[in-house]
Amino acid sequence: MISQKKKILIVGAKFGEVYLNAFLEDHPWIAPVGLVARGSPRARRLAHAHAVPQYTSVEDVPGPIDGACVVVRSAIVGGDGTRLAETLLARGVSVLQEHPVHPDDVQRLQDAAQGNGLSYRVNPFYRHARAPRTFIRAAREVQAQTGQAPVFARFMTSRQLLYSMLDLICLALAWNPATVSVRLSGKVGPFQGLLLEAADRRADLLLQTTMDRDDPDQHSLVMHSGQLLWPSGTLTHVATFGPVVWSPTLYMTGHLDDRMCLYQDAARIGLNAPTGRVLADAAACWSDAFERDGAEGVRCALEEWLHPGTTGDGTARAATSDPAYDLALSRLWHHVMHCAGPIAYEDHEPPVRVDCGRLGRAVTETAA
């Protein structure tokens, strides 16, 4: 029954739609009890579709509420999210706030929550989605099997997604964000290179330098992409919503033995081993990415927030369930943004769409 479920308020009707999508399938112990938004046609449609009441102010929402998801831009990116989170905490409601959040605000809101026996967490979001979650698990598994850290790590992202990219880097490499140092490296095309170092290891990060002032959520050349290399093989997170691919290194046992033949001795020299494995497929379309993968990620985030340790999704919960991780990650994000220098604002045209079906046919016909 709804009365036995955790009652969650969704604040924000833009990206908040993805949070509501988490309840397209009934959750056994969490239920949305309202949507707070400014009253746009989108907000009315969403409230109606999800059969929840719509409010235009958090003060109008009747209690009790077990928690609120604040999915509105925070103060550092020009929104009211931080003020709304503060208002909800003052009312006695725990808050899960969508990233990014300025480290000073994270500290202040954490202190306010702790003083009132509440929870305040920042959600980096993408760590819970299927492909990034697979990448993190796979990176940890390869390190466990080989006993080795990657010999090379390279990541690419945009300004808009830097916060979540840093989160994925720290989780995949088992880094504490509080110990990561940052320095500039050279520029590569439209990217600023940065070198991240921790635990005597380094990672190269290419950060897109441009944004569109009027449409800041879009025009990322790369959302999230990463590659980790070991002597044993390469783990590649091609794009945010997949695929994730493991590519073993070619090594032939007895390669220098002049009695061995590639075909007759394939099993003995290791040629029957796979050349690669797709660990997570790409989402079939962008709608699936948000309605399926994104929604599943929100469910994982809510479960971890409301009952830490219950979801078992393998994303290094011992570290990430600690609010100190949120603060350290926010400080790292703020530091990297400062090191990277000012954003270069440009007007961007809509990208030319490549017809994937036509592209596939062209490749097939060329191969034939």
What residue ranges of the chain have pLDDT lower than 50?
1-2, 311-316, 318
Please tell me the distance from the alpha carbon of residue 262 to that of residue 253, in angstroms, as a whole number. 11
CATH 3.40.50.720 domain locations along the chain = 2-123
Q: Is 133 exposed, middle or buried (0-12, 13-18, 19+ CB in 10 A)?
A: buried
- Report the pLDDT value the prediction gives residue 255, as an integer from 0 to 100: 65
Q: How many CB atoms lie within 10 A of CB 290?
A: 18
Q: How many CB atoms lie within 10 A of CB 231?
A: 10
Beta carbons of 239 and 251 less than 8 angstroms apart: no
Please tell me the distance from the alpha carbon of residue 350 to that of residue 2, in angstroms, as a whole number. 44
- Report the pLDDT value the prediction gives residue 131, as an integer from 0 to 100: 98
Could you read off the pLDDT of 251-289 as tens digits, one per residue? 777 666 677 776 767 777 677 888 899 999 999 999 999
According to DSSP, residue 3 is labeled: G
Q: What length does the chain have?
A: 368
CATH 3.30.360.10 domain locations along the chain = 127-285+321-345
Write out the two tokens for 345.
């604002």
Cα 195 to chain centroid distance, Å, stands at 20
The closest alpha carbon to 193, from 344, 346, 329, 336, belongs to 336
Q: Which CATH class is domain 2-123?
A: alpha beta
Looking up tokens 């994000």 gives 333
Q: How many CB atoms lie within 10 A of CB 117?
A: 8
Q: Is 201 exposed, middle or buried (0-12, 13-18, 19+ CB in 10 A)?
A: middle
Instruction: Name the region of 258 (left: φ>0; alpha: ψ -120 to 50; beta: rest).
Output: alpha
Beta carbons of 344 and 209 less than 8 angstroms apart: yes
Looking up tokens 């061995």 gives 260
Please tell me the distance from the alpha carbon of residue 69 to that of residue 94, in angstroms, as a whole number. 9
The beta strands (E) that lie in the chain are given as 6-11, 30-36, 54-55, 67-70, 95-98, 120-123, 152-157, 181-188, 191-198, 201-208, 210-211, 224-230, 233-237, 244-248, 277-280, 344-345
SS3 for 297-325, per residue? Answer: HHHHHHHHHHCCCCCCCCCCHHHHCCHHH
Model confidence, pTM = 0.93
Angle at 331 between CA 328 and CA 337, to 5 degrees: 140
- Report the pLDDT value the prediction gives residue 1, as an integer from 0 to 100: 44
Could you read off the pLDDT of 5-57 as tens digits, one per residue? 999 999 999 999 999 999 999 999 999 999 999 989 999 999 999 999 999 99
- Report the pLDDT value the prediction gives residue 271, as an integer from 0 to 100: 77
- Give the torsion sign (CA, 72, 289, 240, 342): negative
Looking up tokens 């954490």 gives 110
Coil, helix or strand for 261? coil
Q: Which fold has domain 127-285+321-345?
A: Dihydrodipicolinate Reductase; domain 2 (3.30.360)
For residue 91, give every residue at least 6 positions away whose Cβ sits within 8 Å of its Cβ, in sequence order, or none: 58, 59, 63
Instruction: Using only the alpha carbons of the chain, give its radius of gyration.
Output: 23
